[in-house]
Each structure stands twice: as structure tokens, then as C-alpha cells.
Chains A and B, each alone.
Chain A
């Protein structure tokens, strides 16, 4: 199964990028083969709808799980609509995040964590 992690760099020692839509790129990690690839985020400079475009990118690359820092309402809605599990509020290196994910230590999010429409944050 493929896992997309928003990342500030192109290898497993990179820090998780706290943003989803405007992250530097995604590490797409295959949990079966433990192989990974790096996808630069084409949405980083989008005038609008960056979250939607970034979500399209990870879905098109076959990810079933997204791990990131914070995620906006549009990105959350499309990912949830595409049946993807979203883990938010994550920090640390990509490698440590993958280990925590495998150990079941990450928290799934049920709603957007930032932006207009996110609860408790207007």
C-alpha cells in the first residue's frame, strides 16, 4: 500500500512538511516493498486550490494514506471523498513518521485542521 507523506526534502531523513497543499513535495512510500519515490508538489505556487491539486497528485499516484502536518477543508474533503485515510498533526522526519505509522501511533483526522471552515479555527 502506498503512503504519501508531505515532505520538505526528497529522502527519508527529511522533515515532514507542516503544510499539505503547499508542501515542497511528497514521499510516496510503499509499505510492502519499503521502496519510496519523491514527487515535487506542482501545487506549491498555485494561485488557488493548492490543496485540491496536491490531493489530485497523491491520488493519481496511487496513495491510500496521507500523512501531513495540517490540512485545509478542500483537500480534506477530496481526500476523504476518495476514500483516503488522513493522519494530521504529524512532525519529525519522514522515516520516524513511517515507523510511528507502522506502530499504529498516529492519529487519524476526521476534519480539516486549518483554513476557513475548520472547526475552532476561523
Chain B
């Protein structure tokens, strides 16, 4: 079963939930895999502290121009939807960071002057800790196209295990790449107008992706109930609330798992998993 943890808004606690859920389930004997797909800002490893056993560079194809064949007609720059190519007299400039590897430029080049070469965009690191099989992707600095790295990371998914995917924040391409194909998505939100606004966007995204989902309210307090009203109106289950507690924040700020130091939370996370299984059926 693949469970992704997404949020719409950044800083709501996706990584906290993903890592503590993984830890608690592994403690209770589940065969567990955790993939940190927030490749622009991976941080689950800070809490899991795995021994890195595998490092694998990830490449994707970008155009290579044969200047002997090129007539500088500019067709490639014209068809590039992402403006990765610039052509002037006697010169073609490529911005590999902007390339989405669609292959259109090489397909439409009238001179057949374009081939494809691998461009390194990042790295996958894998290892294990607490009985969790853990892997994360790390996009190189300056690279802006994350989905190919996420796709590669998701190739590691072992369907026989409980797979937890820590998705990036927001609702853009990297999030969709991370969440699609999940059996269930847990949306983490915070009780603020910003949390609610971005939660609504994430809900719309999941409806399009046709992934079943439920809500977890992190840093829950008894002051802001707009999320409850929204979920009630939309008929979305709220399956867990983690209160705004100083102790939890302190453990987090030291880079530790709060379910490890406050073991009563392990049962709560296992119950959360049971609710997810129940909702899936």
C-alpha cells in the first residue's frame, strides 16, 4: 500500500508525520519503505538518520547540437515551450536547467543536427534505519526540473511493503509526480487561514488525480475551527489531530522523532494507519 503525505502549504508538518508514521509502523512490525520525494528540500533523513548505502546519480536527456550541421534557423528555439534554447547567427545557446527533455527540438530540427545527451540533475541516496528502508532524492543546486528525479526515486517502490511518500509542498508538477499512483493521500494542514486556503487547492488536486484522501490537522488548537467546517461541508474525514504542544516542537527542533520519545504516539500513529486502511476499502 502506497500512502503519500501532502499538504498544499509548506511548513505544515508533512515530514514530521511521514517520519513518525513510518517509525511507529516499523516498530509494530510492518515492512516499511519511506521515500522522501521533496527533492528540492529533502529533510526526512534528518529525523530517520539512515546509514547511506547507495548513492546513485540521476541523469536526464538534454539536446546536444552538432554545430557542423546546424544552419542556425532557430526552429528549435521556436518550438521549445520552456525557452531552453536561444539561437542567433552562428550560435546556439542551451540552458539545460530549463529543459524538460521533451525531445521536440531534435524531432523538428530540419538539419537533424540535434541529438540527446545525459545531464546530471541530482542524486538518489538510499539506506536504512529503525527497520525502515529509506531513500531520498536530492536535486542539484540550480536545477529547477524536479519530476524526473522523483520518477526515478519512485522506481524503488516495493508494492509488498507499506510505502510512505513524503511529497513536496504545494500543488505543482513535483507534487503531482510524487502523489500520483498512491493508494491513499494524507493531507496535513494547520489551523490557520493560510492552511485552509492551500488545503482547498490540494483537495482539488487530489480529486483530479482520483486518489482517496483524508485530513490530519497538525498544531491543532481550540481557536480556529474553519478547517472543521470546511471538511464537514465537503464531507472529508479528519482522521487525526496533533495538538500544538511545546514538547513535540522541542523534540522536532532537535531533529528527533517525537513518537520515539513519547511512545504513546506510536499507538496513535498505528490507529491512523488503521483508519487509512478502513477508508481505502
Contact = CB atoms under 8 A, between A and B. Distances in A.
B84 A49 contact: yes
Contacts of A53: 83
Mostly, the A contact residues are helix
B77 interface: yes
A52 B95 contact: yes
B83 A48 contact: yes
Contact of B86 (A46, A47, A50, A52): A52
A60 interface: yes
B88 A81 contact: yes
Contacts of A49: 82-84, 95, 98
Interface in B60-115: 74, 77, 82-89, 91, 93, 95, 98
B249 interface: no
A78 B98 CA distance: 14
A59 to B, nearest CB: 5
B93 A81 contact: yes
A84 B83 CA distance: 19
B144 interface: yes
A56 B98 contact: no
A43 interface: yes
A81 B82 CA distance: 20
B89 to A, nearest CB: 8
A78 B87 CA distance: 9
Interface string B178-215: 00000000000000000000000000000000000000
A20 B18 CA distance: 43
Nearest to B81: A47
A74 interface: yes
B86 A48 contact: no
Nearest to A78: B86
A55 B11 CA distance: 37
Interface of A: 43, 46-50, 52-53, 55-56, 59-60, 74, 77-78, 81-82
The 4 closest A-B pairs by CB, nearest first: A49-B83, A82-B88, A53-B83, A78-B86
